Structures are given as structure tokens and as C-alpha cells.
A and B are shown apart, each in its own frame.
Chain A
Amino acid sequence: MTKEHANWSPYDNNGGTCVAIAGADYCVVAADTRMSSGYNILTRDYSKITQLADKCAMASSGFQADVRALQKHLEARHLIYQHQHNKQMSTPAMAQLLSNTLYYKRFFPYYAFNVLGGLDGEGKGCVFTYDAVGSYERVGYSSQGSGSTLIMPFLDNQLKSPSPLLLPAKDAVTPLSESEALDLVKTCFASATERDIYTGDKLEIVVLNAKGTRREYMELRKD
């Protein structure tokens, strides 16, 4: 009496890794640009990061079709918010919206593992990390995706004070400067690329600070 199983799954995992790190006056959101399916590479140049508001960016790994649908939904909701409130959504507001959106599909989830990064109302960096159904927490740094198991313990070791493992976290942000955070992110991805087959090709980094938003790229190993 074995249960009959579907011969088809609505989900696929396109792999990839995302990282975000918050500082006193900046936030760094990064993700690799490899999109894969099983052992195949679908493309080496796909962005997993979207800018949701002036001071808010989201990186998502998992099933990219669901990720794209989620991004479009949030963009549309943000437009409505702007029409109603005459201003951009703050990052904590967007964080709550993302959580609610994910839980709305609690029984057919978005297969998306998100990190939201941006500047809060006071201009300080903030990072929010999520599971697929909307459970979220504000943290100083986070990683999601196929390389997160390799990156997260490394970040916990390097960034002791904002670590949520040291309950309660001493700081909500890391004490790093913007350039130190960028170097750390690049190191994380270079390392994860070595051992995680789904991570590689190119690294896209989005930096949000008081001056605005800028994008940086770094080549990663392509094997």
C-alpha cells in the first residue's frame, strides 16, 4: 500500500548563493550569476538581485521562476504604496511585506530563499533573512542558497559581534567598513565557488549607501 507519487514536480532548484552584510551606513547585497538545473548550467549570466526601492535590494536563490514572480509582485505592491503614501517604502516595511507575501502562499510556497538588504529609516544598514514561507529576522549579515552552508559558518566566525548565535546579538550591524565588507563578500564567494558546484561564473554585488546604489562584478571560477 505505497502512496502514489506525482511523476512531475512544480519546482526546480536553479542553485546559486546569496549573501548580504549590513554596516553602519551601507549595505552590501551579493549573489552569483550562475543558473543551473541538475548538473547542467542554464546560463552563466543571470541576476538574482532586484532593487525593490531606492534603499532596498533583495537577492533570492532557489527556483528562479518563483523568484521572478515574487520580484514582480513586490515591485507592483511598491508602486501602489508609492501612489498611496507619496514616498518610497522603507526597508523594514518591505521586509514585513515580503514576509506576508511568502506566508500568503504557505500551502504552495514560493521556492525562494531570500535575503533583503538596505538602509533603515535612520540610514543604518539592515539585512533581513527569510525562509521559503516568510519566517524572518533582522540580522547584521546572512547567506542563503546552495553555498550558504559553506559561507554562513565563515561569516559567524569572522563577524562575532553581530552574530545571532551570541544571544542577544551585540550589534545589529557589523563593525566593518564598506570596503572591508566588499572584500569579505568576495572572499566568501571565491571560497564557496571552490566546493559548491552550483556557485560560480560571476559575482554581482549591489552596494546601497547614502550616495545611492552601485553595482560591482567579479569573475568567479567557471567549473
Chain B
Amino acid sequence: MFRNQYDTDVTTWSPAGRLFQVEYAMEAVKQGSAAIGLRSKTHVVLASVNKANSELSSHQKKIFKVDDHIGVAIAGLTADGRVLSRYMRSECINYSYSYESQLPVGRLVVQLADKAQVCTQRSWKRPYGVGLLVGGLDESGAHLYYNCPSGNYFEYQAFAIGSRSQAAKTYMERKFETFTEASRENLIKDALFALRETLQGEKLTSSICTVAVVGIGEAFHILDKETVQALINEFEIAGEEAPADETAPQDQDGDAQPAAADQGPADQGVAPMDM
């Protein structure tokens, strides 16, 4: 994209019917580090690459728990993402307060999309510079949505956003038909494989990625480092092959340390400055 006279503010149309500021906001998402999501009939897995700016700093938090049944992974301006996560949490809390039941994911993403749209039609605002992969469960099953800065949202079987996300998308395009019926373990492994594609040869370790799961009977939570590393080791030892669909040898509890069985709450290793 190049600078032109129609891109100064968001309330100016170009002659071709484009809003350049909104498109520039979508560029910000493409520049952020990768985040991916995949869903099966019963589970949704979100994963993100967490690169720290330097060895001295901690990494950015890119996956947020919104409620027991919803989580979100972001790419782009993480500050905007944090603010939107806070909004989503607040909406979920208010809904359960009023209706004593969980906010359906489809309702939340519409509210989020409407909120984003407002910023595309006010001269004193700017669009949010963050893309959100919202994964959650409700009465109608498991869902994965992508919310853009433009105010659009789409439902996906699997999606990737951020830098080098095309590599992950290519991997997932090959395999997505297996996702609906995939077991929880295979879904997580596919997420890790897809994430690895975005690293372009760099070694995938649990210190540079975050993985989170939500499923039927399983509240949204971020997997701890040990569990993730154990899964990575398992498939790297098994070779470069992506996991087959049969679940027999895939039982993670057989390989991993006792820590792997502990699907505890949020990541304990996160430094305080991440909030």
C-alpha cells in the first residue's frame, strides 16, 4: 500500500470505495506475531508465538481467558487486544449476572464486531489494531471466530493470523477435514505443527509459544510449559511426520511426566509485568 490523499482519516472514502485507515489497521494485524486457532466438534485450541523483544524482557501475553467457556488469541497491537479482552470479560460477567448462564460465543463476537465498527465511523477515533481469534463453547457446540479491525467477523474451522500465518494456513488447509472428529490430543498436536510452520525453521520450544484449550467438560485454560514441551518432544522424537488420525499411540499421559496430567490454571511462569 502506498500513501495517498484519501488515507488521512478513517471517515474519508477513497474513490474506489475503500477506507484506507481500516485497511492500514488490518496491516497492523499482519505485522504481529502469529496466532492460530483450530476447532473440533468438542474442543477449540488456540496457540500463539511469543517472541520477547530481547533476552532481558518477558514476552507479551497474547492469549487471554475471557470466561470458563471462551478464550481469545490476539495478533497486532497487543495493548488494543488487552483492552478488548477486558471488554469481553466484562460482557461475559454481566451476561452471567443477568441470565445466570454463559454468554453464547456468537453473541460475544457480534458485540465485539459492532464495537470495532464504531471506530471505523467516528472521526475522533481510530480502528483497533488487533485481530482476535475467539475460541469458545456454547450450547451449539465448539466455535472459532476471527474478528477484524474492520468490524467483520467470520467463523472458521481453523485459521491463522499475524506474520507468516500463511504457512500455518497452508498446513491447516491440507488437514482441516480431519479436525472435526479429531481427539483433543491430536488437535493440540496439529496446533503445534501449524505453529511450527510459522517459525520458518526455528526450533519450536515451549518457551516461545503459548497453547490454550477449551472443550466440553474442560474450562478454558492455558497449558503449562511442561505439558507443552512434553507434547513437542513427543512428536519431534517421532520424526517430522504430522500425527496420523488413529489415537492409539498418541496418549500423552504415557510419555509425559506427572506434570502433563495437571491441566492447571493460567501459566504460572508469566512475569508480573505482562499484565
Instruction: Please report A residues at the B interface, Cβ cutoff 8 Å.
Output: 72-73, 76, 79-80, 83-84, 86
B51 at the interface (CB under 8 A from A): no
Known: A83-B65, A84-B275. A76 touches B270 (CB 8 A): no
Q: A76-B96, A79-B89, A83-B65 are in contact. List 5 more A-B contacts (CB 8 A).
A: A76-B93, A80-B89, A84-B275, A86-B266, A86-B270
**Bound-state Cα–Cα, A31 to B65, Å:** 35
- The distance from the CB of A81 to the nearest CB of chain B, in whole angstroms, is 11
Query: In chain B, residues 71-115, which have Cβ atoms closer than 8 Å to a Cβ of chain A?
Result: 86, 89-90, 93-94, 96-97
The one of A72, A73, A83, A86 in contact with B89, judged by C-beta atoms closer than 8 angstroms, is A83
The one of B86, B93, B266, B275 in contact with A79, judged by C-beta atoms closer than 8 angstroms, is B93
**Bound-state Cα–Cα, A86 to B94, Å:** 20
Residues of B close to A72: CB separation below 8 A: 97
1/0 per position for B146-188, CB-CB distance to A under 8 A?
A: 0000000000000000000000000000000000000000000
Interface size on B, residues (CB 8 A): 11
**Bound-state Cα–Cα, A73 to B96, Å:** 11
Query: In chain B, residues 213-244, which have Cβ atoms closer than 8 Å to a Cβ of chain A?
Result: none
Residues of B close to A86: CB separation below 8 A: 266, 270, 275
**Bound-state Cα–Cα, A32 to B14, Å:** 70
User: What are 6 A-B pairs with beta-carbon distances under 8 A?
Assistant: A73-B97, A76-B93, A76-B97, A79-B89, A83-B65, A83-B86
**Bound-state Cα–Cα, A84 to B275, Å:** 8
User: Which residue of B has the minimal Cβ distance to A77?
Assistant: B93
Instruction: Please report B residues at the A interface, Cβ cutoff 8 Å.
Output: 65, 86, 89-90, 93-94, 96-97, 266, 270, 275
User: Which residue of A has the minimal Cβ distance to B96?
Assistant: A76
Q: Is the pair B275, A80 in contact by a Cβ cutoff of 8 Å?
A: no
Most chain B beta-carbon contacts within 10 A, residue among A72, A79, A80, A84? A79
User: Which residue of B has the minimal Cβ distance to A72?
Assistant: B97
Question: 9 closest Cβ contacts across the A-B interface?
Answer: A76-B93, A76-B97, A83-B89, A79-B93, A86-B266, A72-B97, A80-B93, A84-B275, A83-B65
- The distance from the CB of A1 to the nearest CB of chain B, in whole angstroms, is 45
**Bound-state Cα–Cα, A76 to B90, Å:** 9
Residues of B close to A83: CB separation below 8 A: 65, 86, 89
**Bound-state Cα–Cα, A80 to B66, Å:** 10
Residues of A close to B94: CB separation below 8 A: 76
Residues of A close to B96: CB separation below 8 A: 76
User: Which residue of A has the minimal Cβ distance to B267?
Assistant: A86
Residues of A close to B89: CB separation below 8 A: 79-80, 83
- The distance from the CB of A164 to the nearest CB of chain B, in whole angstroms, is 35
**Bound-state Cα–Cα, A73 to B94, Å:** 10
- The distance from the CB of B145 to the nearest CB of chain A, in whole angstroms, is 20
Residues of A close to B266: CB separation below 8 A: 86
- The distance from the CB of A13 to the nearest CB of chain B, in whole angstroms, is 25
Residues of A close to B275: CB separation below 8 A: 84, 86
- The distance from the CB of B267 to the nearest CB of chain A, in whole angstroms, is 9
User: Which residue of B has the minimal Cβ distance to A83?
Assistant: B89
**Bound-state Cα–Cα, A79 to B93, Å:** 7
Residues of A close to B86: CB separation below 8 A: 83
- The distance from the CB of B16 to the nearest CB of chain A, in whole angstroms, is 43
